[in-house]
Chain A
Amino acid sequence: MSTILELDGVIAGYGAGDILKGVDLSVEAGTITCLIGPNGAGKSTVLKTVSGLLRPRKGTVTFDGHAIGRLSPKARLLLGIVHVPQERSLFPAMSVWDNLLMGGYLIKDSKVLRDRLDEAVASFPICRARAGEHAGSLSGGEQKQVELARTLVLDPRLILLDEPSIGLDPKSRQLVFESIRALSSSGRTILLVEQNARSGLAASDFAAVMESGRVQLTSTGASLLENPEVARLYLGAGTAGHATVLAPSTDSPGPSARTPGEEPR
């Protein structure tokens, strides 16, 4: 297996302060990696530095051997990185079909575009069934499917999914995770942020835990599921904690020490 994405000492933020305080993370090609952590830890911000919505202040982001930290979102898209953000990302007053077409905005060859659209529609039939409707009039779960379909139009190599199951009922959530596994089995790499840590970890090959702007722990998805500390903090077993910092993975194989006082927002 080879590393396709690597973040090394990434520092980034929006205004005055730094939100990411030195993020190290590597993602293996063809796998699903799940990023978990409390609200405000900086998970979405990590994805933004990979897709180019935000440029790192320090540190490097490497994708498939290219240093991409200073590239525009468009250039990264052309390399095969697609980001499905946390908030609703469809264009609400455009039709479902126009939303799909926007997925192919950079595709110049009309035959390629047609093939990709066909492929997307085959995987997500809702795009044909509701093609003419305003995307904003679809339910949250339906919109998520269109978002995933739009992602397929780009034929990406790396897909960044930010909390794809947020606000979905169990059935739709299951559907989303099935889609994610399908995307992955066609050889694509997926970096997933998931608040439903149990489903997220179960679906993933690898996992990383973020707190306060750093990756505190990386492991396989399965072993994190069995990790009692992680279970207590993120899987809803016992009282859900929120102010605990796990020890960095470099110091010890498992989480142990806690540093009090550092309250993530």
Chain B
Amino acid sequence: MHALVQGVILGVLTGGVYALMASGQTLIFGIMKVVNLAQGAMVILGAYLAYQLFVSFGIDPFLAIPITTLIMFAVGVAVQLLFLRPLRREDRSELSLLVTFAVALLLEGFMSITWNTSYRSINTGYENASWTVFGYQITQVRLWAFLLSLAALGLLFLLLNRTRFGRAVRATVQNPDSARLLGVESDRVAALGFGLGAATAAAAGSVYGLLYPFNSGSHYDLISRLLSIVVLGGLGSVGGAVVAAVIVSTSSAIVASTVSPSWSEMTFFVILMLVLLVRPQGLFGTVGRGAL
């Protein structure tokens, strides 16, 4: 029982971070029908940026987030303008897989050259601090990471639901032609949306760098997890991505703490397959269109 509860605690806390990464990815899919295979690489790049700001200037990774998100927002916009916009609307969905994979490799190459391939971790000095509550261990860093992710998701939610830009984004996701007919410039929404997706990757990246050691190749692991989460939640559904992230990481953590860590990686693929058998569109997906 103790192991189970400990697993739930760990899983929920970690799930928040994955939720943040996945929300950006599902947003990009919703707006452009682009599966962004570079989302993992953007998270890792965000982690490196946080690492560098910490090593060079002593900026705490949490405090670095406004800086890294701004930089990654610009990177995201640039990627969209340079690599995705030139694709023709009709075959954008298929070609974007190749293009974003190429972008992932490009970013990986850039990171290997800049920081070489040895594993880095951000050693703030508080990374091992933890509290014990009723006999359960709560790592402080994970708690902060979780709270930060919640705050970032909250901001994203407000942006999407309470602003004019957010309404335009949701409109584009739900009915792109109609949105254009009401004066929404789809190219602009796509560029800003891609930037937003990259910004969430950066915020999540800072935290990721605090929680795990990483190198330029870490994005492969990450993207396979993110894809599973996004598909499980329903492509294009931000709420779905959040729920799926928590389900996936909680169940992996429970299996790791009660059965064996070696089975935990398998867990979420099993869940994914079971869910897709029953609901091919994912938990919260609508067929064909995002439900943002």
Chain A interface (Cβ < 8 Å from any Cβ of B): 15, 51-53, 72-74, 77-78, 82-83, 85, 89-94, 98, 101-103, 105-106, 150, 154
Partner of B167, one of A72, A101, A150: A101
- Contact B183 A51, beta carbon cutoff 8 Å: no
Residue pair A94, B174 in contact (C-beta under 8 Å):
yes
Q: Is B112 an interface residue (CB 8 A)?
A: no
With contact pairs A91-B171, A94-B174 given, residues A105 and B180 touching in the complex (Cβ less than 8 Å): no
Q: Are A91 and B170 interface neighbours, CB within 8 A?
A: yes
Cβ–Cβ < 8 Å partners of B291 in chain A: 93
Contact A73 B170 (CB under 8 A): no
| In the complex, chain B residues whose CB is within 8 Å of the CB of A85 | 177-178, 181
With an 8 A cutoff between CB atoms, is B133 at the interface? no
Q: Note all chain B residues with C-beta closer than 8 A to A106.
A: 182-183
Question: Given the interface contacts A101-B167, A105-B167, A105-B168, does A90 sit within 8 Å of B175 by beta carbon?
Answer: yes
A72, B185: Cβ atoms closer than 8 Å: yes
Could you tell me the distance between the alpha carbons of A102 and B176 in the complex, rounded to whole angstroms?
Answer: 13
- Contact between B170 and A94, CB atoms less than 8 A apart: yes
Smallest Cβ-Cβ distance to B161: which chain A residue: A98
B179 at the interface (CB under 8 A from A): yes
Instruction: Return the contact of A91 from the options B164, B178, B183, B286 (Cβ within 8 A).
Output: B178
Q: B170 near A93 (CB under 8 angstroms)?
A: yes
Contact with A along B152-167 (1 / 0, CB 8 A): 0000000000001001
For the complex, give the distance between the alpha carbons of A94 and B171 in Å: 8
For this complex, 9 residue pairs linking A to B, each with C-beta atoms less than 8 Å apart, are A73-B180, A89-B175, A89-B177, A91-B178, A93-B174, A94-B167, A101-B167, A105-B183, A154-B182
Residues on B with C-beta less than 8 A from A72 are: 185
When distances are taken between beta carbons in the complex, the residues of chain B under 8 Å from A53 are: 177, 180-181
Chain B residues lying within 8 Å of A101, measured Cβ to Cβ, are: 167
Interface presence of B184 (CB below 8 A)? yes
Q: How far is the CB of A76 from chain B (nearest CB, A)?
A: 9
**Chain B min CB distance to A155 (Å):** 13
A106–B182 Cα gap in the complex (Å)?
8
A82 to B184, CA, bound (A): 13
Query: B292 contacts the other chain (Cβ, under 8 Å)?
Result: yes
Contact of A102 among B177, B179, B185 (CB under 8 A): B179
